């Protein structure tokens, strides 16, 4: 079974646009779990333009499904993970000024850094995942860091899905098979939606988890959050 983790960053973006606490990200996280989300994902950034560091502290006290904290492993991120001990820490190589994550780790160049970071996260009892591009060369070095999982960066798949879905998914199937051979768990995320999700899952049925935020929250404007989460769950069960 592939789990659906709902990224609630966009809920915080909406709240921050007006100040105060509407919508309440903690309530939305609890409602999302009640509606069928099997995990909650957040990605705090240094400028706190969406999820704030104190949101993460508050969420870790109430989330009962898998709590996943994404981010660049700077000092503040590592301290946040140490304090909250989420189910999973997803390491993303985005600089502080990035609008959104736009590439995976070069696990060859940064293997020493990742080795040290992952060793520290394991001391906290936290499962790790490395955000990674669908290129074979990065997977064995990823395995050598000691990480339990990798997360496929799926924006290129989503961008080309409507032109030629078979060609778009091909490199992902190839690296997914390699990940399985290496004993790496497999997550996926970025620009997945109701149009392209089912096909990805059908081609890679051993996916452990998908993390979806932007598209899911946009769909919720039309369908409602409860219905939307169930719609995404059904895509993973086709």
Active-site residue set: 43, 70, 190
Q: State the Cα–Cα distance between residues 232 and 27, nearest whole angstrom.
A: 20
What's the half-sphere exposure (Cβ side, CA atoms, 13 Å) at 227?
7
Residue with tokens 């995942």: 129
H runs (alpha helix) in 103-223? 111-123, 139-144, 155-160, 165-182, 197-203, 214-223
Q: State the Cα–Cα distance between residues 224 and 103, nearest whole angstrom.
A: 31
How far, CA to CA in Å, does 105 sit from each of 92, 110, 111, 139?
7, 8, 9, 10
SS3 134: coil
Q: State the Cα–Cα distance between residues 77 and 115, nearest whole angstrom.
A: 16
Taking a C-beta distance cutoff of 8 angstroms, is the pair 230, 38 a contact?
no
Q: State the Cα–Cα distance between residues 153 and 104, nearest whole angstrom.
A: 6
């Amino acid at each position: 079974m592939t789990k659906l983790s709902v990224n609630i960053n966009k809920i915080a973006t909406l709240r921050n646009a007006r100040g105060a606490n509407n919508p309440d990200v903690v309530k939305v996280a609890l409602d999302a779990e009640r509606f069928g989300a099997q995990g909650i994902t957040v990605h705090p950034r240094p400028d706190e333009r969406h999820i704030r560091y104190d949101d993460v502290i508050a969420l870790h006290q109430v989330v009962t499904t898998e709590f996943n904290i994404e981010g660049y492993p700077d000092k503040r991120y590592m301290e946040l993970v140490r304090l909250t001990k989420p189910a999973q820490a997803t390491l993303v190589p985005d600089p502080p000024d990035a609008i959104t994550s736009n590439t995976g780790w070069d696990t060859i160049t940064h293997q020493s850094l990742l080795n040290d970071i992952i060793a520290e996260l394991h001391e906290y009892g936290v499962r790790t995942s490395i955000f990674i591009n669908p290129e074979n060369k990065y997977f064995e070095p990823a395995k050598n860091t000691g990480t339990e999982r990798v997360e496929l960066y799926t924006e290129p798949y989503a961008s080309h899905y409507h032109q030629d879905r078979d060609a778009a998914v091909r490199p992902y199937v190839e690296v997914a098979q390699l990940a399985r051979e290496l004993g790496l768990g497999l997550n996926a995320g970025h620009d997945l939606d109701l149009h392209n999700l089912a096909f990805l899952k059908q081609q890679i049925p051993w996916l452990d988890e998908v993390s979806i935020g932007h598209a899911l929250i946009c769909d919720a404007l039309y369908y409602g959050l409860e219905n939307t989460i169930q719609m995404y769950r059904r895509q993973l069960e086709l």
